[in-house]
Every structure is written in C-alpha cells, then in structure tokens.
C-alpha cells in the first residue's frame, strides 16, 4: 500500500515549513523510524521520520521548497506500486480537525500519522548536482544576502558549512571600477507630493545600500504581530513597583548559595496572579471565551534573527528555584537552537523583559492566542516619598497590554496591583525558598 509522507505541523502557529535536505533517495529502503528529510521552521530545524516501511517511491517536494503543513512531500510503498499523479503543484492532504477559530493558538495541532518530528540532528549532504549546504549555513547565507553557489564548501563531499559562509562574508570584496555617480538628470523624477493622509510606497534612493531579504523568523514575527495589532483592540496600563526589598532578598539568597534572577521573582509573582485572575489568562475571538485552567508562561528570548518564546508549563505550581532552573534551561535551548515544538507552543501569557537593557518603560504587542502580555522595564534608583520624607528606592515599571474585548481597564488595574503587592512582599518569597 502506498503511504503519503506529509509535511508535519511542528507548532500550533506554524503554517508552512521548508524542506532543507533529503536523507533518502528514491528507491531507498525505508524502515519505521528512518529519517527521511530535514525541515526548517521559523524557530528551529528538525528531522522527519517515517512511520511506514517500504521503499521511497517518489519525492514530491524538492530541497529548498517551502510548502504548507500537511502537504504531501513523498510516497512510501512497495516496489512497483503505482503512486498518485502529482500534477504540477504540491498536494495537500486532507486532515480532519475539530472545529475551532483559526486564531486560537492553544488549539491542538492536527495529528499527522505518516510522519513524526524528531529532535534536531546534523543534516546529511545532498545528492547529485544539487547544492550541498548545511541548514545553519543556508540560513546564514540567506540572512546575509550572499549566494551560496559562489561559496566553495570545505565539508564532507564539498558541503558548504557555516564556517565557509562566515569566511566568504569576511573576505574583502572584489575591486571594481567605481561607477560614475548618477547625474541629477539620471535620478528618478520626484513624484508629486501626496496628501499628508495618503501613504506612499517606499522609493529607494540611488545611494541606498542593496536590499536584503528578511529572515524567515523575522517574517513570521512580522505576520503574527501585524495580525495581533490590527485585529485585537489593545490598551496598556502601567504601575511602578518598589523592588528594593526583593533586590536585598536576592543578594541574601546569593550569599547563601541560591542564585536567582529578578526575572525569577517576576515570573513567580505573575503566575500566582494569573491563577487569581483567570480572565487575564484566557483567550477570546470576540464571540467566545476559552478559559485556561493552567498557567503556561511564555518568556521572550532575543536571538540574532529575532526572538522566540519558550514556555514554562504550570508555572504557578513551581517553586522559585524550579522556575529558575527551567527558565535557564529554556533560554539556553533557544540560543542553541535545540528546543522542540512542545517547548515553543501553548503559552497562555507572555512576559517580555527588557530590564537588563536600561529601558525606563515600554509596551509590548499581545501574542496571538493570548489576551495580555507583561512588559518589564529596568529597575531604576528613584527618589520617592517614604513616610514624611524622601528616600531612594529601586523602582521598576510594569506595563500590561490587554485585549479590551476580554480585559477592561478596571480588571487590568486590579491585576497589576495584585502583582505589585506580591512583588513587594519579600517575606512570602523567603518562605517559598526556605520551604523548598
């Protein structure tokens, strides 16, 4: 029997993936668990393994092609079996899922039975005259605007590695005769001034640099946040939190051998506050509300190409030390590119922390599938009223961006005030650590 091999859906918000390398040739024997090909999502690379045994009868999707999830990438069956005709375009298999709004990020991903996602491994060299290049090298070349076909590979069988791309970028450019500067007559004629309310298309100046393509990660970020900003009525509320006692407690813990970050305290307090205010932890499409009984905290982590949001599951049930360990593990995995789909999906609320970057105050855009996001600014020594006098306190601004369809100003204010009370109660955190 012929079995289609589908492009898997690694994440709940993933709509397409790029096939970066085939590890099996047409005619090769395929056993269950064999790696068939490697794919690239907006967040990581991973292998796709076979669930069926037989022979790889046909490869439908070529290396470098980006196709929708659930598209047929290949067929596996017995030698000589007839395979379905594939007329000119990519075949997309029909996958039955429960009816749910498309915007709900927490909806379960459809089950793909013909292929499964495995942990990332090193890619193998491609065959024939095809370009042999590793996924990391391919991504760096695309982000840097360099044609990989101009690079000599030093890897096995001439495979282009990330080191080869970096060497090509570091090499001095070829010297060419300078082109004469365009005269005024050669410059594009200035377009008539448009009315102030009309948005005109960008016209590059001849002296501008060469354009470069946005990375896949940046394009996905742009699409999702544009969707959020244009379809969700968002408003912000800000409070100032006195972190003086928390910083002193952190120093005390560190001296006793327990290393914690300011983020750990913020995540813990936020998770407890979300459990107290379940509406802020829920989601709405404007017609229905999906309540979340569990708190899955997303933590934005900056990467060279953009950012990812690893998820700490059931954060309200974890101790400070457990939160610290899990956050450190996820941050390291995000920077190393070793996180799996389960680590990057299913958040019910997100924290974006720029406190380490000297930011006085900012607001963040809600992630699709959530109803609020917390922006954390820097702790700043600030003169404030203390009793009848003035004292210097360590003040941090927290800004909550909320979906006004579900969260109104009064609820946002109560949520932030409850969060502030928790962060200013150092004794409660001391008891958390002492009680394990």
pLDDT of residue 111: 36
pLDDT of residue 59: 93
From first to last of its 436 residues, the chain has per-residue pLDDT tens of 888 999 888 776 677 888 988 999 999 999 988 889 988 876 667 888 888 889 999 999 998 888 888 889 999 999 888 887 754 445 554 333 333 333 333 333 333 334 444 443 333 333 445 567 776 677 677 666 677 778 888 876 677 887 788 788 777 655 444 545 554 444 455 444 444 444 456 677 777 778 888 877 788 888 888 989 999 999 999 999 999 999 999 999 999 999 999 999 999 999 999 999 999 999 998 899 999 989 999 999 988 878 889 999 999 999 999 999 999 999 999 888 888 888 988 999 999 999 999 999 999 999 999 999 999 999 999 999 988 999 999 999 999 999 999 999 999 999 999 999 999 999 999 877 766 5
Catalytic residues: 404
Could you confirm whether domain 226-434 is CATH 3.30.559.10?
Answer: yes
Provide the CATH topology of domain 3-124.
Answer: OB fold (Dihydrolipoamide Acetyltransferase, E2P) (2.40.50)
All CATH 3.30.559.10 domain ranges in the chain, comma separated? 226-434
pLDDT of residue 194: 46
The strand pair at 45-50 and 115-118 is best described as: antiparallel
- Cβ atoms of 184 and 160 within 8 Å: the answer is no
Provide the CATH topology of domain 134-171.
Answer: Dihydrolipoamide Transferase (4.10.320)
All CATH 2.40.50.100 domain ranges in the chain, comma separated? 3-124
- Cβ atoms of 310 and 298 within 8 Å: the answer is yes
List, in order, residues 6 or more apart from 19 with CB less than 8 Å away: 7, 37, 38, 39, 61, 62, 63, 64, 65, 66, 67, 73
- Bridge partner list, 236: 401
pLDDT of residue 61: 92
- If DSSP states are collapsed to H, E and C, what string results for the chain? CCEEEECCCCCCCCCEEEEEEECCCCCCEECCCCEEEEEECCCCEEEEEECCCEEEEEECCCCCCEEECCEEEEEEECCCCCCCCCCCCCCECCCCCCCCCCCCCCCCCCCCCCEEEECCCCCCCCCCCCCCECHHHHHHHHHHCCCHHHCCCCCHHHCECHHHHHHHHHCCCCCCCCCCCCCCCCCCCCCCCCCCCCCCCCCCCCCCCCCCCCCHHHHHHHHHHHHHHHHCCEEEEEEEEECHHHHHHHHHHHHCCCCCCHHHHHHHHHHHHHHHCHHHHCEECCCCEECCCCCCEEECEEECCEEECCEECCHHHCCHHHHHHHHHHHHHHHHHCCCCHHHCCCCCEEEEECHHHCCCCCCCCCCCCCCEEEEEEEEEEEEEEECCEEEEEEEEEEEEEEECCCCCHHHHHHHHHHHHHHHCCHHHHHHHHHCC
All CATH 4.10.320.10 domain ranges in the chain, comma separated? 134-171
The strand pair at 301-303 and 306-308 is best described as: antiparallel
């Amino acid at each position: 029997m012929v079995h289609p091999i589908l492009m898997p859906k690694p994440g709940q918000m993933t709509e397409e993936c790029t096939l970066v390398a085939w590890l099996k040739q047409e005619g090769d024997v395929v056993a269950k668990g064999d790696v068939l090909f490697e794919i690239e999502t907006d967040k990581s690379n991973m292998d796709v393994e076979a669930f069926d045994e037989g022979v790889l009868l046909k490869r439908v999707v070529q290396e470098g092609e980006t196709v929708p999830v659930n598209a047929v990438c290949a067929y596996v069956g017995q030698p000589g079996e007839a395979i379905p005709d594939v007329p000119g375009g990519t075949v997309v298999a029909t996958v039955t899922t429960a009816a749910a709004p498309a915007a709900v990020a927490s909806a379960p991903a459809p089950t793909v039975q013909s292929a499964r996602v495995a942990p990332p491994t090193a890619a193998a060299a491609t065959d024939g005259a095809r370009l042999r290049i590793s996924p990391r090298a391919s991504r760096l070349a695309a982000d840097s605007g360099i044609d990989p076909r101009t690079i000599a590979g030093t890897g096995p069988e001439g495979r282009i590695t990330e080191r080869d791309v970096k060497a090509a970028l570091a090499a001095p450019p070829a010297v060419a005769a300078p082109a004469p500067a365009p005269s005024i007559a050669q410059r594009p004629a200035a377009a008539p001034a448009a009315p102030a309310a009309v948005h005109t298309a960008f016209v590059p100046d001849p002296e501008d640099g060469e354009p470069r393509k946005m990375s896949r990660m940046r394009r996905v970020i742009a699409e999702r946040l544009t969707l959020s900003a244009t379809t969700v009525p968002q408003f912000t509320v800000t409070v100032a939190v006195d972190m003086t006692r928390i910083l002193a407690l952190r120093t005390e813990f560190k001296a006793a051998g327990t290393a914690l970050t300011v983020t750990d305290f913020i995540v813990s307090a936020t998770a407890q506050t979300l459990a107290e205010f379940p509406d802020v932890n829920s989601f709405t499409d404007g017609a229905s509300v999906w309540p979340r009984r569990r708190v899955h905290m997303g933590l934005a982590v900056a990467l060279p190409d953009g950012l990812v949001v690893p998820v700490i599951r059931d954060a309200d049930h974890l101790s400070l030390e457990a939160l610290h360990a899990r956050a450190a593990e996820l941050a390291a995995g995000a920077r190393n590119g070793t996180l799996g789909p389960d680590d990057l999906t299913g958040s019910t609320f997100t924290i974006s922390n720029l406190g380490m970057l000297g930011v006085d105050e900012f607001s963040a855009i809600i992630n699709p599938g959530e109803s609020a996001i917390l922006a954390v600014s820097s702790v700043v020594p600030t003169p404030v009223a203390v009793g009848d006098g003035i004292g210097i306190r360590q003040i941090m601004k927290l800004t909550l961006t909320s979906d006004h369809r579900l969260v109104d100003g009064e609820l946002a204010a109560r949520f932030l005030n409850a969060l502030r009370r928790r962060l200013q109660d150092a004794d409660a955190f001391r008891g958390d650590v002492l009680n394990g």
